[in-house]
Structure 1
Amino acid sequence: MESFASLGISPGFIEKLAERNIREPTPIQKLVVPSLLAGKNVFFCSATGTGKTFAYLLPLFQTLFGSVMAGPGDDPGIGGRGTELLILAPTLELCSQIKKEADFLLEGQDRRIKVNLVIGSANLERQIGSLKKDRPRVIVGNPGRLVLLTRMKKLKLGSLRALVLDEGDRLFAEELAADTRELLGLINRDRQLTACSATLSPKIRDLLLPFMEGEALFVETGEEGILRDRIEHWAFFCEERRKIQNLRSLLGAVKPKKALVFSARGGQPGNIVSQLQYHHIPAAGLYGDMDKKNRKEAIDGFRSGKITVLVSSDLAARGLDIPGITHVIALDVPAEGGPYIHRAGRTGRAGNRGIMITIGNEDEMRRLARLEKKLGITIYPKVLYRGQICLPETFEEETPSKILLPPGPAQKVLE
């Protein structure tokens, strides 16, 4: 059986992992860690909740800061170096989570390696001051602010030895692509490149090739079975105008410990939160135009359990890793499988089970039927009947998919 030690990870990092009872590498870590330790460019694709962050942090820290786990009398290897590792991520929440994991691996070590968070919502002058004071060897940030600081010559990346694009597909989405390309163009090509996501398409890999030296190894695992094995998928037919009302009824029926609700429509998350709060449901929102303070309050409240329902846009929740999410509820159906995978992947993590629920109109149910076939999952039709989740009574054989028709009267109440 492979262990972190057999992969080449140092005892100091292994001891840190043991503090979280992480004792064996996940399948994606087994594939990625040796390749990154060998200095290869690696693009890897693995389902959410499978340990992608540690898959790149462990080997890159090992390579760049090997002396960080040395004894107190050893050379720490600082020597006035600049930033050596840059990690890009699309959202404040994901950047913050990555920094937290990086700090965890380094905490307790008598060394001066700093990890700085460089994000657009932070005060620019304070950020510049922190960069000057800390001289961080690791920076985690989003492309827009990093481009600005580089243009201002407040951030110098000439010492960069490794670059990571976490949620690489989202970094090339329309709202971020220009900044991502500009930043990559400002960074030397002679450094190790890593990109990862649960849905890293060949198109994204092709876009990255001009920004790297040499070849890239593409790695993926069979962990996508998590979408089928750990997550149960439900579908509720609903007219568009009744979706929020049906959401309230559904929340009352399932009484989730923690539910993450997705809406792709601009401005809709705020409206949903207002209506849920009006009906005394402890809810908060997470969407693009919120300030940093309110976003943090929403995340902290949801993480602690004070808030049981978090309503989010897709971008705001990208990479969100909050333990104990029991239900994910989508109020629309994406055109492609990628967003569905990312949404569903917020539950069923760390060996737990979860439920992915879609509330959609007739057109959306047809789209969902196509995704069901494409993703190789089974989506079970459900109805709400007298405050309980029930199975529909009948389905016509000529219907293209079992999830298309509006439900009939309830037949059986689920246990």
Structure 2
Amino acid sequence: MSFSQLGLSEALLKAVAEQGYTEPTPIQQRAIPIILQGKDVLAGAQTGTGKTASFTLPLLQLLSDSDVIHQKPRRVRALILTPTRELAMQVHENVSIYGKHLPLHTEVVVGGASIKMQTRNLKHGCDIVVATPGRLIDHVQQKNVSLAHIDILVLDEADRMLDMGFLPSIRQIMAYLPKQRQNLLFSATVSNGIKTLAAQLLNKPVEIEVARQNATADTVTERVYGIPRERKRELLSYLIGSNNWKQVLVFVRTKHGADRLEKQLIQDGIRSAALHGDKSQGARTKALDAFKDGKVTVLVATDIAARGLDIDSLPHVINYDLPQVPEDYVHRIGRTGRAGASGEALSLVSPEEAQLLADIEKLLQRQITRVADTGYEPVSLRVQDAPKKAAPSKTTGKKDFRHKPKAPAGRDGARPQGPRGAAKPTPRRTGRV
């Protein structure tokens, strides 16, 4: 099936083609035609299934087909609620990309950003608002924006909203909305809590559920390195330099962790760039282009920032931090080993992450191969041996690792070093990685 068979307009098909997408994903095939019919939808879909486009594309079409599209001043006619600032920024970016050939305007309203600038932009008028609940309520109460003309409401990652305690805020926002509207609820899991919310929110919804992705490609080699948390950066630099890897996508859990690791790798002589939700669109595009062009060896990314990345023939994916959601592991390593090409996915796992590893292996229904000799003292990755609390980094001079050889220089002539002030690895290894 092609996107042209889904009933989308030429303007949207052009935007989709410009992004290099040719075939809709299963969730897009099922959700887009139903949403275009104006029906409410309850969709169970994991991250990485293309769910954002599955509601963004039909939403844009429905708004552009409306008779009030050129009405002045602009009224907010679509509201997309997300649980986090990073996700809101990502959804806003997707709406802007897919709607680039349409006369629609979108604003993003999130905490942690200038409320004065958001107020000014909202008062200029817009068609679509992408928001986190708390900041949106602030603007509504200050009468910076009206939700009285909303035609379409989207709750993205509704399960995370419930987990984060946003249910009272969602109910408060509902009170500002017109009763007659189309509602779209997307959730990774359809729990009892989600069903209860759907019963209160949706009107005779069509239920769509895409099977969870719990298998990895046969072309991807997966390995786990059991490693003390404070030695992860040192091992990562060693692996990249000693193997002369030229393109490595490294996943971390937080945007602060991404910035920190980027700086540390640069100190180790490895050309690196960070990609996360706090980066401007220009900075993110620049970092991604440099990575694709080979000007940057390592791209350090958070899960949210990496959504939608399409990099041909990516050879190496590193889980510097394991994801909190097991399905995200499959999504991460699916970046490599595409189109029949071989790929390598390595996970640097500390004892504190033993439970996360166990959850991933339960999903995969198999154990991921452990690297027996990491060059460090062995650590236990059994859940029962995991530390109860995060252990503080050791700053004493005690050696808790076996010596590694100095890594050969990378393309830029630099050798990865150990952390500043820490003992530098000296030769002992046999050359195995």
- Please give the range of the TM-score, normalised by the shorter of the 2 chains: 0.7 to 0.9
Q: Which residue of 2 aligns with 1:45?
A: 44
Q: Specify the alignment match of 2:213 in structure 1.
A: 224
Q: Alpha carbons of 1:310 and 1:119: their partners in 2 closer, same or farther (altered >3 Å)?
A: farther
Displacement of 1:348: 6.5
CA deviation after TM superposition for structure 1 residue 292, in Å: 5.7
Query: Number of aligned pairs?
Result: 381
1:205: which partner in 2? 194
- For 1:11 and 1:225, the matched residues in 2 are separated by 35
- Per-residue deviation, 1:342: 5.6
Secondary structure in 1 matching 2:369: strand
Kindly indicate whether the alpha-carbon contact (under 8 Å) linking 1:94 and 1:320 is maintained by their aligned counterparts in 2. no
Structure 2 counterpart of 1:106, from 62, 80, 99: 99
Structure 1 residues 160 and 107, CA gap change in structure 2 (3 angstroms): same
Summarize deviations over 1:165-215 as a string: whole Å, max 9, x none: 233333334376665554345434542222335x33425523532551323
Shift of 1:158: 0.9
Structure-2 change in CA distance of 1:411 and 1:92 (3 Å): same
The corresponding residue for 1:155 is: 145
Paired residues of 1:83 and 1:160 also in contact (CA < 8 A): yes
1:90-129 matched pairs, under 5 angstroms: 90-109=83-102, 111=103, 113-129=104-120
SS of match in other structure, 1:146: helix
- Using a 3 Å threshold, how does the CA distance of structure 1 residues 50 and 371 change in structure 2: closer, same or farther? closer
1:32 shift after superposition? 0.8
- AA paired with 1:98? V
Aligned AA for 1:372?
E
SS for the counterpart of 1:244 is helix
What does residue 394 of structure 2 align with? none
- Structure having the higher strand fraction is 1
Deviations 1:11-40 (A, max 9, x none): 443344333443432222111112212222
Query: Structure 2 residue aligned with 1:301, among 272, 276, 287?
Result: 287
What amino acid maps onto 1:379 in structure 2?
I
Note the residue ranges of structure 1 that are not aligned, 5 or more in a row. 68-74, 387-391, 393-398
1:60-93 deviations in Å (ceiling 9; x for gaps): 22223226xxxxxxx6743346211112234455
TM-score by structure 1 length?
0.73
Give the SS at the match of 2:309.
coil
Q: Deviation string for 1:344-368 (max 9, x for gaps)?
A: 4666789987544321235644652
Q: Secondary structure at the match of 1:39?
A: coil
Are the counterparts in 2 of residues 44 and 218 from structure 1 also a CA contact under 8 Å?
yes
In the other structure, the counterpart of 1:58 is 57
Residue 117 of structure 2 aligns with an amino acid whose one-letter code is R
For 1:142 and 1:42, locate their aligned partners in 2 and report how far apart those are by CA, in whole Å.
21
- AA aligned to 1:34 is P
TM-score normalized by the length of structure 2: 0.71
Q: Do the aligned partners of 2:213 and 2:330 also contact (CA within 8 Å) in 1?
A: no
1:246 equivalent among 227, 235, 258: 235
Aligned equivalents of 1:167, 1:256: Cα separation in 2: 35
Identity over aligned residues, as a percent? 29
Verify the 8 A CA contact 2:52 2:91 in the aligned structure 1: yes
Q: What SS is found at the alignment partner of 1:150?
A: helix
Residue 57 of structure 1 and its aligned partner are, at CA, apart by 1.9
| Letter aligned with residue 66 of structure 1 | D
Q: Which residue does the alignment assign to 1:379?
A: 368
Q: Which deviations, in whole Å up to 9, do the C-alpha atoms of 1:341-400 show, x marking residues without a partner?
A: 5654666789987544321235644652453133336623235679xxxxx9xxxxxx99
Deviation at 1:116, TM superposition (A): 1.9
Q: Secondary structure at the match of 1:224?
A: coil
Distance 1:276 1:178, change over 3 A: farther
Q: Is 1:257 aligned with 2:231?
A: no
Q: Could you say if the C-alpha distance between residues 14 and 240 of structure 1 is closer, same or farther in structure 2, counting changes exceeding 3 Å?
A: closer
Question: C-alpha displacement at 1:137, in angstroms?
Answer: 1.2
Pairing 1:2-401 to 2, within 5 Å after superposition: 2-66=1-65, 77-80=69-72, 82-109=75-102, 111=103, 113-133=104-124, 135-174=125-164, 179-180=169-170, 182-184=172-174, 186-196=176-186, 199-203=188-192, 205-206=194-195, 208-209=197-198, 211-222=200-211, 224=213, 227-228=216-217, 232-252=221-241, 253=243, 255=245, 257-263=247-253, 271-284=260-273, 297=283, 300-305=286-291, 307-311=296-300, 317=304, 320-324=307-311, 327-333=316-322, 337-338=326-327, 340-341=329-330, 343-344=332-333, 355-362=344-351, 364-365=353-354, 368-376=357-365, 379-382=368-371
Contact 2:38–2:182 (CA under 8 A) maintained in structure 1: yes
